[in-house]
């Protein structure tokens, strides 16, 4: 499983970045969030932070 970002929906508001307990997210220069899969523990906190429905989980 992994966190997937829907680049068309992500605005780069950073809301998920601030609340990821592993600091595994960052906003790219084109304002789309990037997931560092090395550090992501798949806790799914970020999914609850996104107002733009831009995050999901892949199986």
Partner 1 sequence: MAAARLPHSKMGKMKTDIVIIGSGIGGLCAGALLAHSGYKTIVLERMPIAGGRYTSVKYKGYTVPTASWMLLYGKDDPVYKTLQEVGAPEIEMRGAGTPMARYRISGNIYDWPEKGALRYLLSVASHDEDEVNRVMTALGQAMSEETPSNEISFRDWLFQYTRNEAIHSIFQAQIATWCGMNADELPAGEFIRALLSFRGKSDFRIPKNGLKDIIDALEKVIKENGGEVWKLTAVKQIVVQDGESRSIIAERNGNEMEIEASVVISNIGPKKTIELAGVGNFSESYLREVNEKVRPSVGMDYLFITDKPLLDFPGTLYTTDTRRKVSWSVPTMMWPEHAPNGKHLLHGFAVPRSTLDYDPKEEHDIFMQDLMDVFPDFKKCGGQLLLRRNFCGEWPCTRAWQGYDVTQETPIENLYNVGDGAKPEGWIVGSGAAESGRIVARKIMERIKPWGR
Among 28, 46, 56, 58, binds ligand SF4 (CB under 6 A): 46
Q: What is the DSSP string of 5-59?
A: E-TTT-----HHHHH-TT--EEE-TTS-EEE-TTT-----HHHHH-TT--EEEE-
2 touching ligand SF4, by CB under 6 A: no
Binding mask 12-51 for partner 1 (x = CB under 8 A): xxxx-xxx---x---x-xxx---------xxxxx--xx-x
Give residue 49's Cα distance to chain centre: 9
- Please give the residue ranges that form the binding site for partner 1 (CB under 8 A): 1, 11-15, 17-19, 23, 27, 29-31, 41-45, 48-49, 51-52, 57
């Amino acid at each position: 499983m992994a966190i997937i970002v829907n680049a068309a929906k992500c605005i780069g508001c950073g809301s998920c970045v601030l609340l990821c307990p592993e600091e595994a997210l960052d906003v790219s220069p084109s304002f789309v969030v990037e997931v560092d899969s090395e550090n992501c523990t798949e806790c799914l906190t970020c999914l609850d932070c996104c107002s733009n429905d831009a995050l999901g989980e892949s199986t």
